[in-house]
Amino acid sequence: MIIIVSPPNITSRNDFARTTNTSQCTQMIIATLLKCGTFVVWRNALTDLMCWCDDNFLDLNVSKTKELIIDFRRNRDAAEECIIHNKRMASANTSWSEENFSCSICLDVFNSPVSTPCGHNFCRTCITTFWDDQVRYKCPVCNELFHTRPYLRVNTFISEMVDQFRRSVRVKELPSVEPGEVPCDVCTGTQLKAVKSCLVCFTSYCHIHLEPHQRVARLQKHQMVEPMDRLEDRMCKKHNQLLELFCQSEQVCLCQICTVTDHKSHPVVPLKEEYEVKTAELGKIESEVQQMIQERKQKIQEINDTVQRSKADADRQIADGEQVLNALMSCIEEQRDDFNQTVKEKLKSTEKQAEDLIKQLEQEIEDLTNRSSEVKQLTHTEDHLHFLQTFRSLKNPPHTRDWTTVEVRPPSYIGTLRRSLDQLEETLSMEMKKVPDPDACELTLDPNTAWRRLSLSEDHSKVKRVEEDQSYPDHPERFDSLAQVLCREGLTGRCYWEVERRGAVDIGVTYRGITRRGVGDDSRLGKNNKSWRLACFDDCYTAWYNGSNTVIPLPPSGSTRVGVYLDRPAGSLSFYRVSPGVGGSSDTHTLIHTFQTTFTQEDLLPGFGFGLGSSVSLCGLSYDSLTYVISLSLTAPLSPPKGLILEPPLGTTLLLYIYI
């Protein structure tokens, strides 16, 4: 190719001459790029340009131009030799592209190619239309001028090459066989995808090789079906007959001869009939496998949730411990490190247990997923023989572990901070005596008391009202008619806990002897003299005791967390609205209501009631919650301290702090 770099207004030889004579051309560079075919197009024009440059060299006023022209003349012969060499290489190359058979006018593959006297080829329609619009006839490629309109000659060689190229393109466009597809049994080179299988020839055919079966009358009578793999397996090995029947006694496929010999007295049905029966069973197997997969995925989610709660508890314990120890004395670094290490080791142990269980669950899911893929693949097959032969191995699910009783219990940090505080220097002992010893214990929901449409979490820290009955066994302590549940542990001394609610929920305390049968007031929290409750709604609170209610003017204001403080010695039961702080500020505790009474010696149990779709999560307490409880034990419960930070996450394990 020849590239001329010049001002952009030069479009012809006259323009070039005019520009040069007026000294507007400041530089002309002629560079020779040797590339097959393209050099010839420009050779004649460049020869003229070269001669013109020789005649007008002095007018160019560019000293470099003559050197470039001399170099061009010297390299012209080498360029032509290169062109000849490249043409030979191209003729030896059997891999043709569309560019080799494209018309220079329409840029598409030749259609009725013809040749001009200069040797270039065009579509007959293209060159005819091109010359119809011209006054002078010239070649669109080399611009050779013809005095009369040339006679167009049909290029037989190019026509044959174009036809061969078109045929090769059509063959390439046919779908070749992909993994998992049935190949054509007749193709010898690149195997194409089979479109039909013949049950008479026991051969699969692609579009090309299927043609005889569509044309020959005798072959048209053959039974053609969708492509099937392993057609040879459809023949009875013993009688060399087509397998068409199924023995229900021995669960094997038979030919007609088998029914009168080895399986003479056995119940036999057509393959399609047994296929429909087994397909129904396969759907059940698929449902069971999917259910097992979902159960294990749910178990993984539960384990991950437990681990996340454990991490949150651990992080909070570490942060709270650092806050307390740093506030008391700067020399407690060693104590803090010991405290952190203890919490981390407990968390690490829980994570290790969870990791092992998750690996087992993921392995089972992988096995079940593979089984599911096999089942799905078998579900879509219409090959009755292959279906029935494979069905037996898929009928029984792979061996898996029973995960119903497996759980990861979060580590308990009860007393960890206290033990660290007890190791402080003796100078703090007098201050610590002012703080009552907290006896922390874990509080859980009692599934034996839960109404049948209350669904408890595996760790018994969350409960939700659902629409279907749960598989709870009969128990004398169960509420049989009311949507209520109690906790296992009895409450003594001073106790504080917090609840995260969603929807309409009753939060209360009851004596253990509350009635569990029927829907009467003696079974409802707050409707008798054995229980107290705070009814929580999205827009208000209502306090209930012995059938009397008090509407609380304090709105929830978006808060869904409620704190409960029981002081049995003082005979008080208080409920607080816990509102999260904004922008890093402290949570606020606002008194909702306090019941004043005299408690008997009978056990008191936390209890909950539920509206439709509501739920409750028992919340863990941070160090600030502990501080808040301590302040309640030292001051009147009606005046909670302000500025306390309390940010336990939703769904964490409930911790109950009891003060004696």
At 193-220, the pLDDT tens digits run: 899 988 788 888 988 889 899 988 889 8
Instruction: Give kind and range of the element (H or E) at residue 506.
Output: strand 505-511
At 310-362, the pLDDT tens digits run: 787 678 778 766 766 666 666 566 767 777 888 888 888 888 989 999 999 99
Report pLDDT for 441: 52
Report pLDDT for 542: 95
Report pLDDT for 319: 78
| pLDDT over threshold 80, residue 223 | yes
Task: Please state, as a whole number, how many other Cβ atoms lie within 10 Å of the Cβ of residue 33.
Answer: 10
Q: Which of 59-68, 537-546, 563-572 has the lowest mean pLDDT?
A: 59-68
At 241-288, the pLDDT tens digits run: 888 899 998 899 999 899 888 898 899 999 889 988 888 888 889 999
In contact, 244 and 268? CB cutoff 8 Å:
no
Angle at 59 between CA 53 and CA 64, to 5 degrees: 65
Instruction: Name the DSSP letter for residue 316.
Output: H
The average pLDDT across 422-449 equals 61
Q: Provide the pLDDT confidence category of residue 67 given band limits of 50, 70 and 90.
A: low
Q: Provide the pLDDT confidence category of residue 86 given band limits of 50, 70 and 90.
A: very low
At 137-164, the pLDDT tens digits run: 889 889 888 888 888 888 788 888 887 7
Q: Which of 33-42, 421-430, 556-565, 595-604 has the lowest mean pLDDT?
A: 33-42
Task: Please state, as a whole number, how many other Cβ atoms lie within 10 Å of the Cβ of residue 607.
Answer: 24
| pLDDT over threshold 70, residue 622 | no
Q: Provide the pLDDT confidence category of residue 391 given band limits of 50, 70 and 90.
A: confident
Instruction: Give kind and range of the element (H or E) at residue 483.
Output: none
Give the separation between CA 592 and CA 200, rounded to whole angstroms: 86
Between 391 and 96, the more confident residue is 391
The average pLDDT across 166-189 equals 72
The average pLDDT across 363-376 equals 87
Structure tokens at 601: 């010696």
At 101-125, the pLDDT tens digits run: 788 888 888 888 898 888 888 998 8
Q: Which of 167-181, 187-201, 502-516, 534-548 has the lowest mean pLDDT?
A: 167-181
Question: What are phi and psi for residue 146, nearest 5 degrees?
Answer: -115, 135
Question: What are phi and psi for residue 327, nearest 5 degrees?
Answer: -70, -30
* Whether this model's pTM surpasses 0.75: no
The average pLDDT across 425-429 equals 54
Residues 6+ positions from 488 with CB-CB distance below 8 Å = 443, 444, 445, 446, 605
Between 306 and 75, the more confident residue is 306
The average pLDDT across 24-43 equals 34
Report pLDDT for 556: 82
At 477-509, the pLDDT tens digits run: 999 999 999 998 888 878 888 899 999 999 999
